[in-house]
Amino acid sequence: MPTLRAPLATLLVITLLGLGTASLPSEPHLTPAASYLPRLVVRGGAPAAALLAHTPSASPHDSYRSTGPGIRFADRFRAGSVTKTFVATVVLQLAGEGRLGLSDPVERFLPGLIRGHGNDGRRITLRALLSHTSGLYDYTDDPSARPLSATAAVRTATAHHPAGAPGVFAYSNTNYAVLGLVVRSVTGHPYATEIRRRLLGPLHLDGTSLPGARTALPAPHGRAYSRDPVDGALADVTALDPRTAGAAGELISTLADLNRFYAALLGGRLLPPAQLAALLDTSAAHGSYGLGIFPQRLSCGVTVWGHNGLIAGSYVRAAATRDGRHTLTYRINTDTLAEAGTLEPALLEAEFCPA
C-alpha cells in the first residue's frame, strides 16, 4: 500500500498540542477508533486530527470526533491522492460503456506522448497506469520540476528512464496524470468535468471539488501546516497552487463526502459488477494495489479498502469494508505524522477489529 511518504508532499509540505473532542449532536455512541485519535496529536505531533466513522448495526450511525484546535466536522481539506480513486472510477465507468478497454495501450488515446528514454506508450496499457505497474518515473520525484499541466508532468517523467520494470508495482503520480489526459481524449471533457458529472452530482458530494488553478480552499475550512525539515518551524500552507497535483491529487473534500463516496463505490452503486471486480483485482500489483484503490488486511482477518492522500498541509486516510457498509475517514491538518507506521494501523484495528 502507499505509505505516508506519499505521493505529493515534495510538491507543495507541529508541535501544537491541545486536546478536545466534538461529536455530532445526535450521536449515540463513540466509534471504537475515537480513543486512538488523541495519539495522532500527542505521539504523532499533528496540530489537530478528526475522524468520521459510519458503523452498520441495527441502528446505523455516524460518529465524529476531533482532537486539537481549529478542526471541524464540515471543514473542506485537500485530499491528495484520494483523487486517484475518483479518476479510476471514471475510467472504469468508461470501460463499462465500451468506450475504452483496460488492455488498450496509451498510444491509442495519446499518440506520441510517451516516448523516449526507454518509455513507450505503445507498450503501456490503461490497466498498468491504474495499477501503478507501468514503470513510468514519478514526475514529483524531480526536484527541479513544478509542472502546471498534465502534459508538462508527463514530459518531466519521460525525460527520465523508467523507474521500474513493466509489470512491477511502483507507485507513480505520472500514471494518473496520463489517465486524466485519457479521460479527456475519450470524452472530449476534462477529467474534472467528468468527475463532477458522474460522481459528485449523483452522490450529492457538495463539499467536494476539483479546484483547477484556484489556490484558496472553499469555506468552511481550517488552516493547513507544514514543518520545515531543517529547522522544524511551522509554515501555513493553506493556500497553494494545486495544478501540479492535477489528476494525481488535486481533490478537495470533507470527511462525510469521502465516507459517502467509498460506501457507494464498494456498495456497487457506481460500477457494474465486472468493473467493480476489476477495481478490486490486485493481481497486476501482486496484492499491493487494485485499480485506484488498495487493500489492507487487519489482524482480525478483515480487509479494508480505500486510499490515503498526502499533499502540503494535509494527510487523509479513507477505509471501508468490502461491502461499503462500515466506513472510516480520518485526517490531520499537516503533512507530517511521527510514528505513522504504527499509529494508523492501530487506529484502523481499533475501528474494524474491536475486541
Active site residue ranges: 81
Grid cell in block for residue 258 = 469521502
CA dihedral 134, 166, 4, 139 (to 10 degrees): -50
Q: What residue has cell string 463499462?
A: 96
d(CA 216, CA 193): 19
> Residue 316 pairs with which residues in a beta bridge?
309, 331
User: What does the angle CA 1 – CA 143 – CA 316 come to, to the nearest 5 degrees?
Assistant: 35
E-assigned strands of 3-92?
A: 49-55, 61-67, 77-78
Total residues belonging to the chain? 355
Pinpoint the alpha helices (H) of the chain.
37-42, 83-96, 126-130, 150-158, 173-187, 191-195, 201-203, 255-266, 273-279, 340-352
